Structure 1
Amino acid sequence: MTSTLSDRRLAGYSAASRTEPPRHLGRRYDLSGTFLPEPGNTVVCHLVDGSPSQAAVLEVRRRMQAMPDADRLAFTPVSSLHMTLFQGIIEYRRDLPYWPADVALDTEIDEMTRIYLDRLSGFRGAGPFQVEVVDVVPTGLTVAGATEADRRVMKAWRDALAGPFGYRHPDHDDYVFHVTFAYLIDWLDSDRLPAWEALFDEALALFAREAPILDLRPPAFCRFADMNHFEELLVLE
């Protein structure tokens, strides 16, 4: 791994370069690492339980949790691990273009979920795809379609889902797919960055060796009360 990639990988997580608190601190989770109520809905692909790639993911997560300064991170439960395919609405983001223009901004989250279940009835997606891990960062995995064809299918899914959801976020076309392990409670000390960089390089080698493809369940429309659990309501095809 070149120093350029390492520098880019951790630049946004270093206390030396950040003076503001982490973005979601105080709203999504608190200083103790407890996740706070933040209801919404989303379309995700959960990890396949018992798969070799899940075992690799959990091993990397375990190594991160064993780091001396892992208390800087609020880890999500294993059962919550997923890749978001399309972002739904969320309680604290009630404005355009993060909300359908044809539905009142003060509509209750449960009602929004019901509306989307109706709109997704009969929905047909763009077909299966495979993803690979392309980087590891303090908050989890960066993933992408394993081939150019897979990347086109994932883009087609997002384009298709924009119809029933009624919006396109500003990053619709360049959204970075990821599997969240944790959120930053505090930035990492600069003298700890080399150790984290070494861990992430080892993790990438582990994925290349043991899990070149990340096994994911089919996309599912889910609801959540916080970041601890994403309940599958409708599996999409």
Structure 2
Amino acid sequence: MSVASLSPDLLKYSKSRHPEPPPHFGTRFNASGDFQYEPGNTIVCHVVEGSRTQEVLIDARARFLAMPEAKQLAFTPISSLHMTLFQGIIEYRRKPLFWPTDLAHDTSIDEMTDVMLERLGAFPAQEPFNVAVTHARPTGLIVEGATEADRRTMRSWRDAFADVLGYRHPDHEDYVFHVTFDYVIERLEDDALPRWQQLLDEVAADIRDRAQVLELNPPAFCSFDDMNHFEELLVFDFKP
């Protein structure tokens, strides 16, 4: 398999092309793959427990774990599988555009979560949406709204959260929705890339065949101490 046949997204995980440390190394996880204390909050849709979707994603995750390079990845627990709909705040990202404009950047995470929970208490019900897998990458799955109407609805949710909470990330308009399986501890050698391309293509096709629409819970505002668990504090309503 030639370099030209490798997806641009996979090439981002090439050690020869990106010798710098992977994102979040040393703050979110360490060299042993252990997740570090990194408190914050977020708004996610968890995968429905016991669903066909969970079964399919567990199968896909197992294929990642079976790869020779699995030791170079820090895997999150099955129980944490989710799609992030809107990014909250986090300990190591206390700066403009990533923090509500009217709140001090040195406010504790717990206090921030309380304030944001209060602001979201009257969040109005929004339209429901369906989500589908588009492709896979070494850290998990890329997803988007199953139809153009679903994609518009997901963007509408994000706009509404931004208006209520008082900040918009730089990638607010072009945020890539995803389901994380793992984080990269060490990027891939070039000779591993072709087999990863084959795996990713097969995994994405298998998921699309077995779970055309992912079974996700309604969005929920969650707190977390690390990437192992996202505690639901407030679940948002869909319009009937």
TM-score tier after normalising by the smaller chain length: over 0.9
Q: Which secondary structure state, in structure 1, belongs to the residue aligned with residue 134 of structure 2?
A: strand
1:3 offset after TM fit, Å? 7.2
Give 1:14's aligned residue.
Answer: 14
Give the secondary structure class of the aligned counterpart of 1:133: strand
Amino acid at match of 2:116: Y
Q: Which residue in the other structure is 1:95 paired with?
A: 95
Distance verdict in 2 for CA 1:131–1:33, change over 3 Å: same
Aligned to 1:126: 126
Q: Which amino acid aligns with 2:176?
A: V
SS at match of 1:226: coil
Counterpart position of 1:37 = 37
d(CA) in 2 for partners of 1:38, 1:173: 25
Contact 2:31–2:185, Cα closer than 8 Å, also in 1: yes
1:4 and 1:173, CA in 2 relative to 1: closer, same or farther beyond 3 A? farther
SS of residue paired to 1:55: helix
SS at structure 1 position matched to 2:12: helix
Report the Cα offset of residue 123 of structure 1: 0.6
Partner of 1:84: 84
1:125 and 1:157 in contact (8 A); partners too: no
Q: Secondary structure at the match of 2:7?
A: helix
Taking only aligned residues, the RMSD between alpha carbons, in angstroms, comes to: 1.3
Preserved contact between residue 143 and residue 178 of structure 1 (Cα < 8 Å)? yes
TM-score by length of 1: 0.97
Give 3-state SS (helix, strand or coil) of 1:153's partner: helix
Q: Could you tell me which amino acid in structure 1 is paired with residue 215 of structure 2?
A: D
User: What amino acid does structure 1 have at the position aligned with 2:187?
Assistant: W
Question: What residue number does 1:180 align with?
Answer: 180
Counterpart check, 1:161 vs 2:161: yes
Unpaired runs of 5+ in structure 1?
none
- For 2:119 and 2:214, how far apart are their aligned partners in 1? 29
C-alpha deviation, 1:6, in angstroms? 3.0
Counterpart residue number, 1:220: 220
Structure 2 equivalent of residue 55 of structure 1: 55
Q: Is the 8 A contact 1:136 1:200 kept in 2?
A: yes
Structure 2 CA distance for aligned equivalents of residues 172 and 162 of structure 1: 9
Q: Structure 2: which 5+ runs fail to align? A: none
1:177 and 1:202 mapped to 2: Cα distance?
20
After TM superposition, give the deviation of residue 73 of structure 1 in Å.
0.3
Matched ranges for 1:141-156 at <5 A: 141-156=141-156
| Partner Cα distance (1:169, 1:4) in 2 | 33
Structure 1 residue 163, shift from structure 2 partner: 1.6
Cα distance in 1 between the residues matched to 2:120 and 2:79: 25
Shift of 1:4: 5.3
TM-score (norm 2): 0.96
Q: CA deviation at 1:188?
A: 0.4
- Tell me the distance in 2 between the aligned counterparts of 1:154 and 1:5: 32
The runs of 4+ residues in structure 1 deviating greater than 6 Å are none
User: Within 2, Cα distance between the matches of 1:205 and 1:83?
Assistant: 19
* 3-state SS of paired residue (1:229): coil
Task: After superposition, give the CA deviation of every residue in 1:40-85 in whole Å (9 maximum; x if it has no partner).
Answer: 0000000011111111111010000011111010000111110000
Q: 1:4, 1:204 → 2: CA distance?
A: 20
Question: Against the structure 1 CA distance between its residues 4 and 54, is the aligned structure 2 distance closer, same or farther, given a 3 Å change threshold?
Answer: farther
